[in-house]
Amino acid sequence: MIYILLIAGIFGAELGIKNHVEKHRKEGEERPALGGALLLRKYHNRGAFLDMGERVRPLVAFVSVLLSLVMTAVFVMTLGSRGSAILKTGLALLLGGAYSNTYDRLRRKYVVDYFSFGVKWQKLRRVVFNLSDFCIAVGAMMLVLGSGTE
Protein backbone atom coordinates (compact mmCIF):
# COMPACT_ATOMS: atom_id res chain seq x y z
CA MET A 1 0.00 0.00 0.00
CA ILE A 2 2.83 2.40 0.81
CA TYR A 3 4.20 2.02 -2.71
CA ILE A 4 0.86 2.95 -4.26
CA LEU A 5 0.72 6.00 -1.98
CA LEU A 6 4.22 6.95 -3.12
CA ILE A 7 3.12 6.81 -6.77
CA ALA A 8 -0.01 8.87 -6.01
CA GLY A 9 2.00 11.35 -3.93
CA ILE A 10 4.51 11.98 -6.70
CA PHE A 11 1.77 12.31 -9.30
CA GLY A 12 -0.31 14.63 -7.10
CA ALA A 13 2.63 16.81 -6.06
CA GLU A 14 3.80 17.15 -9.64
CA LEU A 15 0.32 17.98 -10.87
CA GLY A 16 0.10 20.73 -8.26
CA ILE A 17 3.58 22.10 -9.01
CA LYS A 18 3.08 22.00 -12.77
CA ASN A 19 -0.33 23.70 -12.52
CA HIS A 20 1.24 26.40 -10.34
CA VAL A 21 4.06 26.92 -12.82
CA GLU A 22 1.58 27.10 -15.72
CA LYS A 23 -0.48 29.77 -13.95
CA HIS A 24 2.23 31.86 -12.27
CA ARG A 25 5.35 31.70 -14.42
CA LYS A 26 6.04 33.20 -17.83
CA GLU A 27 7.92 31.30 -20.50
CA GLY A 28 11.52 32.48 -20.51
CA GLU A 29 11.30 33.99 -17.01
CA GLU A 30 14.10 32.84 -14.70
CA ARG A 31 14.21 33.22 -10.92
CA PRO A 32 17.11 32.04 -8.78
CA ALA A 33 16.32 29.89 -5.72
CA LEU A 34 18.41 28.37 -2.95
CA GLY A 35 21.08 31.02 -3.33
CA GLY A 36 21.23 30.52 -7.09
CA ALA A 37 21.76 26.74 -6.92
CA LEU A 38 18.42 26.30 -8.70
CA LEU A 39 16.89 28.42 -11.43
CA LEU A 40 13.09 28.39 -11.51
CA ARG A 41 11.77 28.49 -15.06
CA LYS A 42 8.82 27.51 -17.19
CA TYR A 43 9.53 25.35 -20.19
CA HIS A 44 7.23 23.30 -22.40
CA ASN A 45 9.08 20.19 -23.51
CA ARG A 46 7.26 18.96 -26.61
CA GLY A 47 9.42 15.87 -27.05
CA ALA A 48 11.23 13.61 -24.64
CA PHE A 49 14.52 14.31 -22.84
CA LEU A 50 16.17 17.43 -24.32
CA ASP A 51 13.24 17.77 -26.76
CA MET A 52 14.27 14.64 -28.66
CA GLY A 53 11.31 13.42 -30.67
CA GLU A 54 9.70 16.85 -30.80
CA ARG A 55 8.71 16.28 -34.42
CA VAL A 56 7.09 12.91 -33.66
CA ARG A 57 5.10 13.82 -30.54
CA PRO A 58 2.39 11.20 -31.10
CA LEU A 59 5.07 8.50 -31.21
CA VAL A 60 6.73 9.86 -28.05
CA ALA A 61 3.34 9.85 -26.29
CA PHE A 62 2.61 6.29 -27.49
CA VAL A 63 5.99 5.01 -26.28
CA SER A 64 5.46 6.82 -22.97
CA VAL A 65 2.09 5.12 -22.48
CA LEU A 66 3.45 1.74 -23.56
CA LEU A 67 6.46 1.88 -21.21
CA SER A 68 4.22 3.06 -18.35
CA LEU A 69 1.92 0.09 -18.93
CA VAL A 70 4.81 -2.39 -19.04
CA MET A 71 6.32 -0.98 -15.85
CA THR A 72 2.88 -1.03 -14.20
CA ALA A 73 2.58 -4.73 -15.02
CA VAL A 74 6.02 -5.39 -13.52
CA PHE A 75 5.04 -3.35 -10.45
CA VAL A 76 1.80 -5.29 -9.97
CA MET A 77 3.70 -8.59 -10.22
CA THR A 78 6.17 -7.49 -7.54
CA LEU A 79 3.54 -6.25 -5.10
CA GLY A 80 2.65 -9.76 -3.95
CA SER A 81 6.24 -10.88 -3.50
CA ARG A 82 8.06 -10.79 -0.17
CA GLY A 83 11.03 -8.51 0.26
CA SER A 84 12.24 -6.50 -2.72
CA ALA A 85 11.74 -3.17 -0.91
CA ILE A 86 14.41 -1.48 -3.06
CA LEU A 87 12.84 -2.88 -6.22
CA LYS A 88 9.30 -1.87 -5.21
CA THR A 89 10.39 1.60 -4.12
CA GLY A 90 12.29 2.05 -7.38
CA LEU A 91 9.26 1.01 -9.40
CA ALA A 92 7.02 3.35 -7.38
CA LEU A 93 9.35 6.31 -7.95
CA LEU A 94 9.69 5.49 -11.63
CA LEU A 95 5.94 5.09 -12.09
CA GLY A 96 5.03 8.25 -10.18
CA GLY A 97 7.30 10.26 -12.46
CA ALA A 98 6.30 8.38 -15.60
CA TYR A 99 2.58 8.81 -14.93
CA SER A 100 3.04 12.54 -14.38
CA ASN A 101 5.03 13.13 -17.56
CA THR A 102 2.77 10.81 -19.57
CA TYR A 103 -0.29 12.67 -18.27
CA ASP A 104 1.28 15.92 -19.48
CA ARG A 105 2.02 14.45 -22.91
CA LEU A 106 -1.55 13.25 -23.33
CA ARG A 107 -3.41 16.12 -21.69
CA ARG A 108 -1.28 19.20 -22.39
CA LYS A 109 0.59 17.90 -25.47
CA TYR A 110 3.88 18.86 -23.76
CA VAL A 111 5.65 18.19 -20.46
CA VAL A 112 5.98 21.09 -18.03
CA ASP A 113 9.57 21.46 -16.86
CA TYR A 114 10.37 24.10 -14.27
CA PHE A 115 13.91 24.15 -12.89
CA SER A 116 17.55 24.11 -13.92
CA PHE A 117 20.77 23.98 -11.99
CA GLY A 118 22.60 27.26 -11.44
CA VAL A 119 25.99 25.95 -12.53
CA LYS A 120 28.73 27.57 -14.57
CA TRP A 121 28.62 24.89 -17.30
CA GLN A 122 26.15 26.50 -19.72
CA LYS A 123 25.08 23.26 -21.43
CA LEU A 124 23.80 21.83 -18.14
CA ARG A 125 22.44 25.20 -17.02
CA ARG A 126 20.17 25.33 -20.10
CA VAL A 127 18.60 21.91 -19.44
CA VAL A 128 15.23 22.26 -17.70
CA PHE A 129 13.89 19.46 -15.48
CA ASN A 130 10.91 18.61 -13.34
CA LEU A 131 10.67 16.48 -10.20
CA SER A 132 9.32 13.55 -12.23
CA ASP A 133 12.56 13.39 -14.21
CA PHE A 134 14.50 12.77 -11.00
CA CYS A 135 11.96 10.26 -9.71
CA ILE A 136 12.35 8.32 -12.97
CA ALA A 137 16.16 8.44 -12.82
CA VAL A 138 16.41 7.47 -9.13
CA GLY A 139 13.73 4.81 -9.60
CA ALA A 140 15.62 3.30 -12.54
CA MET A 141 18.84 3.19 -10.50
CA MET A 142 17.00 1.51 -7.64
CA LEU A 143 15.58 -1.04 -10.08
CA VAL A 144 19.08 -1.97 -11.14
CA LEU A 145 20.23 -2.23 -7.51
CA GLY A 146 17.08 -4.04 -6.40
CA SER A 147 17.12 -6.59 -9.19
CA GLY A 148 20.52 -7.85 -8.05
CA THR A 149 19.48 -8.39 -4.41
CA GLU A 150 17.03 -11.25 -4.90
For the segment 116-144, what is each residue's pLDDT rounded down to a tens digit?
Answer: 999 998 888 899 999 999 999 999 999 99
| Catalytic option among 18, 105, 114, 133 | 133
| Catalytic option among 113, 130, 142, 143 | 113
pLDDT tens-digit series, residues 10-69: 999 999 999 999 999 998 889 999 999 999 999 999 877 666 667 788 888 899 999 999
Strands (E), the chain: 31-33, 38-45, 111-117
Is 51 tagged catalytic?
no
Q: Collapsing DSSP states into helix, strand and coil, what is residue 114?
A: strand
Is 104 tagged catalytic?
no
CA distances from 6 to 1, 135, 144 (A): 9, 11, 19
pLDDT tens-digit series, residues 58-106: 888 899 999 999 999 999 998 888 878 999 999 999 999 999 999 999 9
